[in-house]
Amino acid sequence: MLNKYARAFFTRVLTPFAAFLLRRGVSPDTVTLIGTAGVVAGALVFFPRGEFFWGTIVITLFVFSDLVDGNMARQAGTSSPWGAFLDSTLDRVADGAIFGGFALWYAGKGDDNVLCAVAIFCLASGQVVSYTKARGESIGLPVAVNGLVERAERLVISLVAAGLAGLHAFGVPGVQVLLPIALWIVAAGSAVTLGQRVVTVRRESAEAQAKAAASGGSGTAT
């Protein structure tokens, strides 16, 4: 959902910066690696200590690398299966670090086992949602569905809520409840999205089998 509109907008905004990096001899893969390292560091250094505001700021600065590296590859004409594989793989690492950071907070000083479990579910379900699409496409299916809560939605909902919740440290009252609410929303939305993708793959698989059977039958008719 957000992917469709936000990615196009930020791609246009970040195109000059991508061109600047290319002129300086920076490769898209380098941007991918640095961006992921920054996200992981921001999530696992700040979030387990409850420093959600600064953690979100650091993560946000690096998360745009996901748009910059692809933009650079297209401008340079170096888009490749390897680049797409690296980008997708490191996206999963970054997502795991973010929700892992939340889980560590609630398992520690946050002292809430239920929310720790919800954060772990967000981590796991996000990985499985991505896997279902990749696995479906690997067996030749289009997996043509826009899920309710995909990666962009998971990141925006959780990071905006975390950043606002972090304002509690600056004396803003009541905002700390935003992160638990966001985690429940992401968990429920991810479960729905997983269901959407599973149903879509089942339908597309049945249609492909029916088409193959019909094609085989017509080939043997006299």
Assess whether 87 carries a catalytic annotation.
no
pLDDT of residue 146: 84
pLDDT of residue 64: 82
Answer for the pair 67, 10: CB distance below 8 angstroms, yes or no.
Answer: yes
Please list, in sequence order, all residues whose beta carbon lies within 8 angstroms of the beta carbon of residue 99, skipping any fewer than 6 positions away: 119, 120, 122, 123, 126, 158
pLDDT of residue 6: 65
Residue listed under structure tokens 């061109």: 19
pLDDT of residue 222: 45
Residues in the chain with pLDDT values less than 70: 1-7, 217-222
pLDDT (tens digit, 9 = 90+) per residue, 60-81? 999 888 789 888 988 888 888 9
Please list, in sequence order, all residues whose beta carbon lies within 8 angstroms of the beta carbon of residue 156, skipping any fewer than 6 positions away: 2, 6
Whether this prediction's pTM lies above 0.85 is answered by yes
Please list, in sequence order, all residues whose beta carbon lies within 8 angstroms of the beta carbon of residue 122, skipping any fewer than 6 positions away: 99, 102, 154, 158, 183, 186, 187, 190
Q: Which of 57, 50, 67 is nearest to 2 (CA)?
A: 67
- Which one from 91, 95, 111, 112 is the annotated catalytic residue? 91
